[in-house]
Structures are given as structure tokens and as C-alpha cells.
Structure 1
């Protein structure tokens, strides 16, 4: 179920980035070619997210062909995942910035340079742990890769300070919680040891009461959307039978909570600011 929801989220994010790669006829420009190597050193296709840093216009395409672009300053994020997100399959994320001023630009991303992304939790053996490594350029999210179900995820280090690297993660000790939802503080560039961990003191505690209301089916899902720099806004989730009060922990910052169930949803409310070490009480009533 987790993989299906996260895959749908990634698909949705990708569709938001899609744009036609056709430059106006009157504009000067050049071309971009992206070459990707997998972890065995073989050329492979890769997914590419591209953004014009000045206009914030975004594009999404495959690396198999050269692309014509207007002159400008660009940021690019590449996901090298020749085997998709099968269990044990490697995927690598990389990022660069470059300038088009006529002529041809060729960028090469080598997954063999990727370093394993480390996500540290406060639990030795969580029942469930999922995360997404995210990259933003010029203050806007551009692309990312998800790590779950045994997927090996790597990032290619860079000292480019225009690139910022972060991660969102969720985990729990049991199926019934408590649930932990975290967002990392973005780094400048991608470090040589990419990873994030969170001390328990960095979390706020949420006590979330979900009332049965007038909905017959008991299954309910609590969603938390992070509002943070370099976050894709992917929804963290927990499913349980209502009525019930669940305990959740979120890293300090803004989160947008809501619940959904067969026949409807309650919320989302406006983003709420949560402070580390504080306890907050939320109540949702299920209505068709």
C-alpha cells in the first residue's frame, strides 16, 4: 500500500513538472544533451528535471535525445534508475547548474560517483520506513527520488551552493504507531556523505483524535503535508480504524494535516506551525 501511494505521489509530482521543450522561434538558444551512466558504467536513459533559474519555467523529459533551449541559466536534476524501484534496485540522483548561450552543452552524470543516502531514525528496527531525497535550485523544488522497500538510493556529491539537498522521511515502530514524520534541514550542495538523522528532541508531539462521525467504514488515513524549503510536499500517512486517538511526532516547522476515508475527507486545514518539545491536540470528525 505504501509503495502504491508513494508511486502515485511521484507520478503526480512529475506531471506537475511537464512542459513543452520548444523555444520561441525568435529567441536565441542552443541545445542540451544529458548522458547518464548506471552503476556498472553503462550508458542508460535517465529522467531529467530542468528549470530556467531566471523565469522558473520547468521542464521534464528523458535523457535519450538532445533538447533545444532558449539562452539562459538553468538547473538540472537527473534520476538514474534503469531498473525502476524494484526491491534491491539502485537509483541515483545528481544535479548541476549550467548556462545556455548558443552552441551545445553536454552534461554527464555517472552513477558510480553516487554515495549511499543514509537516513537515521530513533528506532533500531522500524516496522516501516520510507523517505524521499529532494533537490531544489534557486529556492524551488525541482526533483527527487524515493527510497522504500529495499531500494538502494545514492546521490552524486557536489559543492555547487546553488543546489540544495534535503529529505523527508516517515517511520513507525509498529503498524499502529506512534508515527514519526521528519523533514531535513537543506544542505548547500550535496555532501560527500549524504544523509539525515533526527534526535527525539527535534520533534513536536501530536495527539490526533479521529471521531467516527457518520461514516460507516472505519478505515481512515491521517495525512501530513510538509511545508518546507526543498520539500516536494509529499504526503506522509498513517492508516487505522476510527474512532481512535493516534500519537504522531513531526519535526519542528509547518505541516498541513487532514484525514480521508471512503466517501470523503476532513480538511486539509491551513498549515500549522509546530515547535519542538511541545504537545498539540488535533480533532477530526468524519463526514461523508
Structure 2
């Protein structure tokens, strides 16, 4: 067998695939493909392989060692071949015509070895690799490795096969520095290894705070977003405590991800929240991301009228101010009034409900007031003692007419306290400047946006007794941004309520109970 294989290799420029195609009248019009997979020990193995028509992008899953009928044409075959605890990835183009056979031999696989120069020491290294066809992730194959058990890939000159690999180094604690590098190519190089100079990396400072969520643990992961490497995933650390660390990344587009896990009343661990931050990383340049910031409350959603139907999303009442879409589950009560009368009410628990909304057909022109109040709720999970952002509310007053499609002249209001520690706490007796963000982001392109409302006044009140009493605090611009200047109490927590009033008679009022703590 090795003699025949060696001769084949000589005549095919050292290819790891042996291809035989039989055509002619003896095989009618039936076209079949048989893929043989050989592991690193030289044994044939039965595995699933992905076969992709490179002209139509139609894909098939076939079992190696068995002939599969396919339309005549050009294909690419991808497979992950196991040998003990190791995996070898192989990808080859093939033209199917008549009875076609293709062999993927893992013994020709080369180890994927990514490194950093100067070398990183004292950190755990992990490697993952992927093969794609024209960067389609859904039909890709992947393998995972470490220093003790590398992942292998079979070289190929075919540009139809894309190769991507990610290497990560971390102490898994969220302290100190972590690294993630990505190597991509069209075709698989004969030596699928690369060392990256530290100076070529960008640095993202990751501030992962605690206090606002229901989770017992928070994990941080990185996912590249370019080509065949898109959405490769590596969790760098998972901790109970806050973390403040630096992550060094190869230039390109990345998703930085925070996953939160909580323990249920039955002792199960559930993933209860995920936040994604997109960052374009450049060599030698710094970037920053903060997860689980204070004043989690009403987010970016505005009521909208589409062809006379008013709607407002009810799953946006506990949103991290740093993220557009991050609403946590809640029990919500929404009420719509006009002319002093209630015309619509909805009560809903948003957990497990897809796109909960308050909807109302506008019957006559007039001023409408939408009030929404929410409390945190996650079935099966007990909220942590001392948790922040336990309740929130928002009120919108705006004009509406029947048979229109408009984004009402309103802003959303969000609070962003500065100077807090990594538990989202301010020092007793200190002063906290709370930035007030006014946004007007439409989510339906059919809604006519119109001009932004003109601000008549902006006022903020605080409560230090859980919302029983409220008092006004100064509001002024700092570097062009509105801020509430909050004198902090000696202990407890601070609730925030801000009203933006417009010259047209409308207003927005947003409230976050226990927005941040003291201590």
C-alpha cells in the first residue's frame, strides 16, 4: 500500500489526496463520490465529511467509506479526522464525474503552532483551527489542541479552502495579561504555523464589573470576526469577582463577550446573559470595554407608530448603558393613556417571551402617555442580596395620529455614573457625576424620523431610601455632555430619576432604582 501511495504522491506533487475518476458507458449517468479517511495511525475511519458544491454552495454530509450520489460538478470536501485525543483537519477540491474516489490521509497533517515573540510564559495555551469553503462557517470543520495534544491540518494549495487558527494564552483568573492571535490564509500552507511579535498586537482593557446582575459567575471570551475565523470562540476566564485586565489581540475585527452564569434553586448552572462588544483592533493602539456597568435600566427603545399601530418593546427595561441590546428578564406593567383615559394595559413576564410589546391602534390624534414599570425577575433563580438595578421605569409623553408611520419626537434617557469602583460603588460622602445620555435610535425604517425634539429642560432627582422620597440635584454640562451632580450619602444606594422636557410639550422620564451603591 505504501509503495502505491508513494508513487501517487510523486505524480501529484506530494498531495495528501488520492483521486480516481471512472467515466464511460459502463457507469451510465450516475455520479458518485466515495471519500476515504485515514487517521494518523494509518487506519481507515468512518466519520462524517462535509461536501460543498463550489458553484451552487449546496452542501451535503456524507459518511466516509460509502459511495454517495451527487450531481456532476466541482466540489470541496472537508473533514475532521480523529486519532486518539488529536484531530487532523483535511480539505480538498474534487470534480465528481462518474465513480469518483478521494482519500484524506491524516498522516500528512502538519501541527498548527501559533506563538508570540518574545514568548509568553506561565500561561495556559490553547489552539483551535478551522477549514472553510469560501468563508462559509456553516459547513466548516474545526479541531482543538494544546501543547500536549496539538491540532493538525493537511496542507493544500487550493484557494477554495480557507484556513484559520486562533491561539490563546491566559491564566484563567482574569488578572494580568491575556493574548489571542489569529492566523488566516487561502489554502493551507505547508507549515501552518506563525509567530506574532508583541508590538504587532493591539491592547484592549477589559473592565468587568459586578453588582448589577443576577449571576454568580461572569466569563470573558474573544471571537474574531474576519473571514474563515469568524466566531471562533475562546473563553479566557470565568470568575465570581470583578476583573480588570488587558487582552492583547491581532489587528482586525473582534467580538468581546461577557457570559453570565447563575445557580438555580435546584443547583443547576444557567447562562443568564451575554453581552457582545465589537472592537476594531489596530496594532499598537489601545481600546476599552466595560461590562456590567451601573444604572442598568431603560435602554434605547422608543415607542413607534407604524401605519397607525403604536408599539413599544417591553424587554428593554434592564439594559447595560454600554450596550444597545442587553435587556434582562423582568416583570413588566405597561399603561397607555390619552385624554385622561387608559386605552391599553399589558402585564407580562418577559422571560422566554419573544419580542414582548405593548401594541395599540391609534384611533384619534392627540397626546399619549406611555408608562412602563419593571422589576427584575428570573424564574428559578433567587436574586442576589444587595443587588443593584432591582427596578426601573420610563414614561413617554408624545403626540400620535392614526394612519401614520413616525418615530415620535422623543429621546431615550440613560444614566452613566462615573468614578465607581469595580463593584459599582461610590465612596461614602463623595460626589458622583452621572452622565445623562439622550438618544433617538429608530428600529423600524418605515417610521419617518423627522427632526429631533428641542430640549426645554433637563432635571434629575435622587433617592437614598429606595424611592420613598426624592430630591433634586444640579444638572450641568461638562465637556459638552449633560451631567447630574450627585452628593452621595454615607451608606446604602442611590436611585436616579431624570426628566427631559421638550419645547413641543412632550417629555421622557427614566428611573433606575438602586442605580449604584455606596461603600
State the TM-score bracket (shorter-chain normalisation). 0.7 to 0.9
Q: Call closer, same or farther: CA 1:245–1:29 in 2, change over 3 Å.
A: farther
1:39/1:111 contact within 8 Å kept: yes
Q: What's the offset of the Cα at 1:223?
A: 2.2
Partner of 1:243: 242
Q: What's the offset of the Cα at 1:229?
A: 1.2
Separation in 2, partners of 1:246, 1:76 = 41
1:266/1:284 contact within 8 Å kept: no
Partner of 1:144: 142
1:37/1:110 contact within 8 Å kept: yes
2:62/2:68 contact within 8 Å kept: no
Partner of 2:34: 33
Q: Call closer, same or farther: CA 1:233–1:261 in 2, change over 3 Å.
A: same
Bigger Rg over Cα: 2
Unpaired runs of at least 5, structure 2: 1-28, 263-271, 297-327, 329-519
Q: Call closer, same or farther: CA 1:166–1:266 in 2, change over 3 Å.
A: closer
Partner of 1:17: none
Residue 264 of structure 2 corresponds to residue 268 of structure 1? no
- Which of 196, 219, 222 aligns to 1:221? It is 219
Separation in 2, partners of 1:217, 1:41 = 48
Q: What's the offset of the Cα at 1:218?
A: 4.5
Q: Call closer, same or farther: CA 1:64–1:149 in 2, change over 3 Å.
A: farther
Residue 93 of structure 2 corresponds to residue 97 of structure 1? yes
Q: What's the offset of the Cα at 1:94?
A: 1.5
Partner of 1:258: 257
Separation in 2, partners of 1:47, 1:125 = 38
Partner of 2:25: none
Partner of 2:63: 62
Partner of 1:24: none
RMSD across aligned C-alpha pairs, in angstroms?
2.4
Separation in 1, partners of 2:205, 2:94 = 47
Residue 52 of structure 2 corresponds to residue 51 of structure 1? yes
Separation in 2, partners of 1:274, 1:158 = 30
1:79/1:144 contact within 8 Å kept: yes
Q: Secondary structure at the match of 1:230?
A: helix
Q: What's the offset of the Cα at 1:266?
A: 4.5
Separation in 1, partners of 2:47, 2:60 = 14
- Which of 190, 193, 196 aligns to 1:192? It is 190
Partner of 2:151: 153
Partner of 2:410: none
Separation in 2, partners of 1:50, 1:148 = 28
Separation in 1, partners of 2:261, 2:54 = 42
Could you report, residue by residue, the CA deviation over 1:187-208 in whole angstroms, capped at 9, with x for unpaired residues? 2322222212221122111111
1:120/1:198 contact within 8 Å kept: yes
Q: Secondary structure at the match of 1:109?
A: strand
Separation in 1, partners of 2:202, 2:45 = 43
Separation in 1, partners of 2:151, 2:203 = 29
Q: Secondary structure at the match of 1:121?
A: strand
Partner of 2:320: none
2:49/2:62 contact within 8 Å kept: yes
Residue 107 of structure 2 corresponds to residue 112 of structure 1? yes
Q: Secondary structure at the match of 2:158?
A: coil
- If asked which structure has higher relative contact order (CA below 8 Å, sep 6+), I would say 1
Q: Call closer, same or farther: CA 1:155–1:126 in 2, change over 3 Å.
A: farther
Separation in 2, partners of 1:224, 1:58 = 29
Q: Secondary structure at the match of 1:40?
A: coil
Name the stretch that deviates more: 248-257 or 209-218: 209-218
- Which of 284, 289, 293 aligns to 1:282? It is 289
Q: Call closer, same or farther: CA 1:214–1:81 in 2, change over 3 Å.
A: same
Separation in 1, partners of 2:120, 2:190 = 24
TM-score (norm 2): 0.45
